[in-house]
Structure 1
Amino acid sequence: MNQIRNIYCVGRNYRLHAEELGNAVPTSPFLFSKPTHALVEANGQTIVLPGNQGEVHYETELVLHIFRPYEPGMSVEDIVDKMALGIDFTLRDVQSELKKKSHPWLRAKGFPNSAVLTKFHAFPGEAACAETDFSLFKNGERVQRGNVSDMLFNMQTIIEFAAEHFGLGQGDIIYTGTPAGVGPVADGDKLELLWGDDVWGTCVIHLRL
């Protein structure tokens, strides 16, 4: 965790997710960032989140790890060595108010423990990732299921866009977007992040009042 530098997140990268929140489907990648203070590993522990600012929503995502500086013409396989699953926690009520005022989302997206991350696994390549679904289970029930083949903007497009507009270097990570099915967590919820049938990470939620 302490070697991660920049945290980039792709918003509205699955059509059904954009539509379920009443957002326009983007025509180019839509990126925002989180501070490194937001990072926390899903290793079975209790994760404390703010419970006094409205609903806290989970957004499950495939996360890419960058291991070398980007140079024009590089492929995803040239620059990504590992992948993980993550949760982009969002203060949904706070975000709605910020959007009404046309303010940045950082307060709704960047709070401590808002970027949950499993352990990293070897990256098999963009095409191979599409052979396996990823899921989030809440208290034993599947609440999200996604596949990178359904992303509006594929990994190559995301890599090139992020590199051009923000730069990409060793230790950066990219949350690639969440499928439909986002929703609120409650105090005591147990969350499990699965790649196929394999559990990559778990945590228990504590909402601090």
Structure 2
Amino acid sequence: MAYVFDVPLPASVPVIGTDEVFPVHRIYCVGRNYAEHAKEMGHTGREAPFFFMKPADAVLPVLPGIVGEMPYPSMTANLHHEVELVVAIGKNGSNIAVADAAQYVWGYAVGLDMTRRDLQQQAKEQGRPWCTGKGFDFSAPIAPIYPVTGINDIEHATIHLDVNGQQRQHSDIAQLIWSVSEVIAHLSQYFVLKAGDLIFTGTPAGVAAVVQGDVLTAGITGLGELKLKLI
């Protein structure tokens, strides 16, 4: 058996301090997982977590000390930033208990869930999927992954995003409505999680529009920063 055309290499994310890369299987995202962000999007309360997906090759790796470049996407006039803690899954599992979820985590990274908000809103109003609003090319910029063995107390790390040096988002991972372990447990009821999966765990309040020329600086305590310019 032969493929009908050359198969591209899998999407991947660098591992900090090494020449290794983390091959990406799937990208899952959690919607409205910080209370203040849920409020700014018109929702309150601790609703059950819900998920959407991005293509694996939506990742846009950005190395430390480098200002990455992201093309401003087509078909939108309202591109929003969403800084997120990204969880990298290291082994397969389904119906995972909350108490066992941590053993499935390979590492963590800083990520951006870039969103064509106008297209997402149109989809919401029409009861249609969010794919065009969330899953476009380069919609998942990500810094290198830090192996979990070198991370301490990620549950209380601060998370922030600045645009052109002005603070837009600032919170604490402890403010997640559903914790990392709870997210993994819920998600594993719907899908068999696989080594190589990335989970974007939600964004704090303060999401807003960005335009060409803007420079975004996103960071999480212990995971460094991601710097990105829109071109």
- 2:182 partner SS: helix
Aligned length: 206
* 2:87 aligned with 1:64: yes
The match for 1:151 among 173, 176, 201 is 176
When structure 1 is superposed on structure 2, of 20-29 and 121-130 the one drifting more is 121-130
When structure 1 is superposed on structure 2, of 58-67 and 23-32 the one drifting more is 23-32
The Cα RMSD (Å) is 2.0
Change beyond 3 A, Cα 1:183–1:47: same
The match for 2:200 among 157, 162, 175 is 175
Distance 1:127 1:195 in 2: 12
Contact 1:87 1:116 in 2 (8 A): yes
Contact 1:49 1:113 in 2 (8 A): no
- 1:12 partner SS: coil
The match for 2:127 among 99, 102, 106 is 102
When structure 1 is superposed on structure 2, of 124-133 and 21-30 the one drifting more is 124-133
Contact 1:60 1:179 in 2 (8 A): yes
- 1:40 partner SS: strand
Which residue number in structure 2 is paired with residue 194 of structure 1? 219
Output the TM-score relative to the length of structure 1: 0.91
Which residue number in structure 2 is paired with residue 204 of structure 1? 229
Distance 1:125 1:104 in 2: 38
Q: Which has the larger radius of gyration?
A: 2
Letter in 1 for 2:195: Q
Which residue number in structure 2 is paired with residue 122 of structure 1? 147
Task: List per-residue Cα deviations over 1:88-109 (Å, max 9, x = no partner).
Answer: 0111111111111000101100
Cα shift at 1:146: 2.2
Counting aligned pairs with the same residue, the percent is 31
Segments ≥4 residues shifted beyond 6 Å: none
Greater strand share, structure number = 1
Could you tell me which runs of 5 or more consecutive residues in structure 2 were left unpaired when the two chains were aligned: 1-10, 13-22
Change beyond 3 A, Cα 1:138–1:26: same
Could you tell me which runs of 5 or more consecutive residues in structure 1 were left unpaired when the two chains were aligned: none
Distance 2:26 2:43 in 1: 26
Cα shift at 1:124: 5.8
Output the TM-score relative to the length of structure 2: 0.83
Distance 1:203 1:126 in 2: 24
Contact 2:90 2:194 in 1 (8 A): yes
* 2:33 aligned with 1:10: no
Contact 2:157 2:174 in 1 (8 A): no
